[in-house]
Structures are given as structure tokens and as C-alpha cells.
Amino acid sequence: MPIYRVLPLSFLLLLWEIAVRLNNKWIFFFGMPSKIETYFVIKMLNGTLPVDFAITFFEAATGFIMGNLFGILLGITLWQSRNIFLIARPYIIALGSAPIFALAPLFIIWFGTGIFSKIMIATFSTFFVALFQAHTGASEVKDEYISLMQTFGATKNQIFRKIIAPSSIVWVVSAFRMNVSFAILGAFIGEFISSNKGLGHLILVASGLFDISLVLCGIFMLMLMALIFNYIISISEAPLKKIVVKYL
């Protein structure tokens, strides 16, 4: 089956290559697959592309982990008290829907132009999705399950471990999936605004030079990164559920 998955891509690349070769002017607008490949090989060999990729990956991954961790923790804390959640909700919605592109310059000012500010932007971008998913997951639990636990005389802690955590894990994993693109976007925007390394920097410089093939090379690397993230999540989903169900 994997062989058939490659077919549409190969066909598209071939068509693209032929079209640009027939119309030389188009290379300015669309780049050319063979040129993207040349950039890829050169930059891999001279080591700049792996470094850019690794930096962006590190920023996105660290932000992803921190954003999800803190988001889930706060989401569950807010689930404990309905009143506090109702007070906090408008603030969370306001902060969570503020465009990250507008906030990013502030993060650069607060946390500097290095890697740390990008990590913080990625953390901020993923935090709210994780918070809402964890909170919704915990709130969606059937009241009857909680009643059942109460008839056993279960403590709030036991109810959380045996009912809330296992039933909201599905929501949390779907937060992970959504947050892949938010984490990469956060890291990218940070680099795009101010940096001297990373894929965001590469794309910014290349687009300034109107080098479309290099821009596309960077974009493909970002797509690759998203695929890697998704793959890691999909293989860790089952063990994670198992841990929560069996050992909590």
C-alpha cells in the first residue's frame, strides 16, 4: 500500500517540473522540484539544514510538552471547582483567541531573541487547546459513573484516578493531535519575527530573496516535522491510554 501513497506525489512533482521547464518565467513564482532537491542536498551536506530543522524541532517539541502539561494541569484544576471555572472562562477565551502573531513580538521582548522566547510562544500556542480539552474531557464524564463511585464510598482522588482520568484521556490525545500544528506554528512565528537560526529564519531570508525553491524546501521540512510529530503521537497513544487505565 505505501507504494500507492507515493504515486500522487510523484505525478504532481513530475507535472510541476515539466510545466516549469516549458515556461521558464514560472520558476520565479513556483520554484521547481529539481531545484528544491538541489537545495535540499547542498544544505544537508553543508549541515545548515539539519541544524535549522533540529532547532525548530526542539523549540516546537519543548513548547508542545510544556503547553500540554500546564494546560492539562490547569484544565483539571479548574474542573475541581465549577465556580472558579466560570470566573476564569472569559479570560481564558480572550487570551486563547488572541492571534499568536500579534503576541509573539511581546514574547521576543520579554524572553529575548534566543531559543527560549520561541519555546514560550510554542507553549502559549498549545496551552489553551490542552486546557479546554482536558477540562471538557473531565466535565463530560457521566454523572452516573460518579454516583456509582460514591456508592462505593470513593474519595474525590479515587474518582479522579478511576473515572475522570481514563475517560478524559481520549480528549487529551486529541488535544495532542491539534497541538502539533500549533506548536510548529508558534516556533515558526518566533523565528520568523526575530532569529538567526531555524526553519523560520531560512524561509524569511529565502522569501526576502524571492528564492521560491528555497522557501518551498523550508516548507517541506516543516511538513516533514508535522508528520514526525504525528507519528510519535500515534505510536505513544495506546501505551499512554494503557498506563492511565491500568496504573492510576
Residue (24 or 157) nearer to other proteins, CB: 157
162 is an interface residue for other proteins by CB under 8 A: yes
CB of 140 to other proteins, least distance (A): 13
Whichever of 82 and 142 has its CB closer to other proteins, that residue is 142
Secondary structure class of 144 (helix, strand, coil): helix
Q: Which residues 110-149 are close enough to bind other proteins by CB under 8 A?
A: 142, 144-145, 147-149
Q: Which long-range contacts (CB under 8 A, 24 or more apart) does 155-163 make?
A: 160/76, 161/248, 162/248
If one asks whether residue 240 binds other proteins (CB under 8 A), the answer comes out as: no
CB of 145 to other proteins, least distance (A): 6
User: By CB under 8 A, is residue 2 in contact with other proteins?
Assistant: no
Q: How far does CA 170 lie from the centroid of its chain?
A: 17
Cβ within 8 Å of residue 82, ≥6 positions away: none
Say if residues 33 and 13 touch (Cβ distance below 8 Å).
Answer: yes
Give the HSE-up count for residue 49: Cα atoms under 13 Å, Cβ half-sphere: 21
**144-161 burial code (b ≥16 CB/10 A, e <16):** eeeeebeeeebeeeebbe
Using the minimum distance from each CB to other proteins, give the nearer residue, 89 or 142.
142
Beta strands in 15-117 (DSSP E): none
Q: How far is the CB of 141 from other proteins (least distance, A)?
A: 10
**What ranges in 112-164 are assigned the alpha helix state H?**
115-139, 143-151, 156-159
| Candidate ranges 28-36, 126-134, 161-169, 213-221; the one touching other proteins (CB under 8 A) | 161-169
Task: Judge contact between 193 and 108, C-beta under 8 A.
Answer: yes
Q: Does 151 bind other proteins (CB under 8 A)?
A: yes
Spell out, one character per residue from 173 to 202, where the chain touches other proteins: x when CB under 8 A holds, - when not.
Answer: ------------------------------
Q: Does 150 bind other proteins (CB under 8 A)?
A: yes
Smaller CB separation from other proteins, 150 or 236: 150
Residues that bind other proteins (CB under 8 A): 142, 144-145, 147-154, 158, 162-163, 166-167, 241, 245
